[in-house]
Structure 1
Amino acid sequence: MSDKAERRAARSVVAEYYEAELGELVARVGEAVDRYRAGEGDAFDVDRVLFQYSRAAKELWKYCNYGQVEIVATLIRERPPHDWWERGAPKDRS
């Protein structure tokens, strides 16, 4: 396989992973908004979810974009990180 083809394949792996993981994060936001609309929470609850989403999405983006694409693709194939939601959780200040 040529370098160009390998790079293209690696970009595809990273893009598919990124889209799937981002979709899971967005779904959490949707659930929070749905609960709010159903009267099961307040605007502050949604704001907390949005804050955590923002942090988690940034961590995911950094993971997928701050390295050589072939290395990131290999990491995703061999031992994909998970639980981006928890990585976006605010730090406990107690």
Structure 2
Amino acid sequence: MLRGALAATEWNAREEHLAAAYRTVAAMHNALGLTEPVDPATRPYHTRPYQVLHAERFTDALFATISDPAVRALPHYGNADQAFDSTDVLSSRANTRALFRT
């Protein structure tokens, strides 16, 4: 699937390969049994003509299984790019680390 995506010369062919990879990863998540099954189908990306997994559905399902209040209180993002939209912050490791310490 990923080789097909890399070899594709048209965006819609690339999208077909990527969507198949997304569905495969979603099925792997469901097979783990960590959450209630999440629909593995791709969906439109808002009003744009692209199909995406909307992976936030999987993170929401995982967060719903957390029972420890201290863990549930942690921020719901994985890296600085998801929390901050500032090239001044993101281009400086020291600035980025300082933001996460607060």
By the TM > 0.5 criterion, same fold? no
Structure 1 or 2, whichever has the larger Rg, is 2
Greater percentage in helix: 1
Q: TM-score, length-normalised on structure 2?
A: 0.37
